[in-house]
Amino acid sequence: MELRIGIADSPQVIEIELDHEVDRSEVVSQVESALKSGDEVLRLVDKKGRDWMVPATRIAYVEVGTADAERRIGFGA
């Protein structure tokens, strides 16, 4: 599952590839909890086991992909 996080006042987007076994609703609730409760950081673990810590106060948007989303490459429609 792919997760994209936009950071306020930055043109860069953080893209994190989560393990396909991660529950989508669990990720959504973790993000919502960090944003609502004013936690200092949103902490996630990617599919390679790396820790990602994003300051919750700087999150502009979060895009949560589906677990079975296909990647399109090239010019195909």
The pLDDT of residue 4: 95
Every domain of the chain and the residues it spans: 2-64
Q: Provide the pLDDT confidence category of residue 37 given band limits of 50, 70 and 90.
A: confident
Q: How far is CA 47 from CA 18, 21, 27, 30, in A?
A: 5, 9, 13, 17
CA distance 73 to 22: 25
Other Cβ atoms within 10 Å of 24 Cβ, number: 14
Q: Which CATH class is domain 2-64?
A: mainly beta
State pLDDT tens for residues 9-27.
999 999 999 988 888 999 9
